[in-house]
Amino acid sequence: MFALLALAAVVVAAGILPWGDTLVLADRVVPVLGFVAAITIVTELAAEAGVFSALAGMLARWGRGRRTLLWIFVLALAVLSTVFLSLDTTAVLVTPVVVLLALHAGLPPLPFALATVWLANTASLLLPVSNLTNLLAEGRMDAGGPVGFATLVAAPAAVGILVPVVVLSLMFRKDLRGRYSAPSVERASDRTLLIVSAIVVAALLPLLVSGLEVWIPATAAAVALIVLFGIRRPGALSIGLVPWRPIGIAAGLFVLVEAAHARGLTAFITGLGGSGTDLLSLLQLSALGTVSANAINNLPAYLVLEPIGHSPVRLAALLIGVNLGPLVTPWASLATLLWHQKVTSLGVTVSWPKFMLAGLGVVLLTVPLATLALWLAAGR
């Protein structure tokens, strides 16, 4: 991270990225990174208060001992967490909760672990707050706020959720039959902290789609929880709540890729992903996004290819590639790397060759079908 930031500073200081362009870039990305910091603080403190564990306990009770019903509830939790609180929240905070739930209920943990990482990526298309790439694209689309954005991508977002769910349910159909013993759930040590934190998170969700700039309600929620924890559990507050490493990496990438575009990268990539909004051109762009994300990670892939997404529909096709496509290589998405750290710390073994093969199969189904859905919904 530090080397990346140092290189970015040299690029600006040397004038490789002109100062005027640097100010324009800062005006665009500072609110985005501010949202990332605020929503991370909110979700980390909510997890510390026991909100996600309480949700898992509710799901275990609602499942009434039926594995299929519990599976449906876990999938719904992963989707809603990704859509409203971002893919990293699902990968980092929801994963350990549902994996421990499966272990305590005597269920195989792998289906639940794969569900969280696949849906963390593929369910991250519907709202601007679902993925950092979406926040960046929304600013270029002028789609009419979160509702307009969701309207544009609703059809491919539905495909991105349904295809992995169907594949997972078929892959693990034997493990998901029968019954389970509902595990006992520990009561929260501070009931007031849990309830107030849950209220703050519940109040935040509709505000994220209200049309306000998302960093405003997220920051307000973060401040509210910081004050609450300062009163009731000050030991949980630390500078480490801010995701310095992801923010630093993203900031450095923004500067370096913008400098590359200013020095001719845009001209180089023009034509690689097609130029129109016909089905073939959209498939070409989403495929390029998928390959690039699995090669170099989805955020730099989006930043590099963004200039050739010169219309809302083309930007949506690019998002299909960089959001739904990073299921093959471990480094394609930061969420996948964070997820792997969590599941291995819980004793769940993941075979990368099998992970990559299964992910490739899902991508080969999901990305073309989602692109087709986008083309049909756009009336092309």
Instruction: Provide the residue ranges of all domains of the chain, joining segments of one domain with +.
Output: 2-377
Walk along the chain (380 residues) and give the pLDDT tens digit of each residue: 678 788 888 888 888 888 887 888 888 888 888 988 999 899 999 989 989 888 888 888 888 889 999 999 999 999 999 999 899 899 988 999 899 888 888 889 999 999 999 999 999 999 999 999 999 999 888 777 899 999 999 999 999 999 999 999 999 999 888 888 877 667 778 999 999 999 999 999 999 988 888 899 999 999 999 999 999 999 999 998 988 888 888 888 888 888 887 777 777 777 777 778 999 999 999 999 999 999 988 988 898 899 888 899 999 999 999 999 999 999 898 889 889 988 988 888 889 999 999 999 999 999 999 999 999 998 76
- The pTM of this model reads 0.89
Instruction: Write down the H helix ranges in the chain.
Output: 2-13, 19-49, 51-62, 67-85, 87-89, 95-104, 110-122, 132-141, 145-171, 191-207, 215-232, 244-260, 266-269, 279-296, 298-305, 312-319, 334-345, 352-377
Torsion angles phi and psi, residue 186, rounded to 5: -70, 135
Buried-state track 149-186, b at ≥16 Cβ within 10 A, e below 16: bbebbebbbbbbbebbbebbbebbeebbeeebebbebe
Residue 216's CB is within 10 A of a number of other CB atoms, namely 15
Q: Collapse the DSSP code of 66 into the 3-class scheme (helix H, G, I; strand E, B; otherwise coil) and give the result.
A: strand
Rg of the chain (C-alpha set): 21
Q: Cα 128 from chain centroid?
A: 10
- Cβ–Cβ < 8 Å for 362, 162: no
Q: CA-CA distance, 91 to 105, in Å (whole number)?
A: 21
Distances (CA, A) of 189 to 57, 100, 192, 343: 15, 19, 9, 25
Q: CA-CA distance, 302 to 315, in Å (whole number)?
A: 9
Q: Which uninterrupted H or E stretch holds 93?
A: none
Q: CA-CA distance, 236 to 49, in Å (whole number)?
A: 10
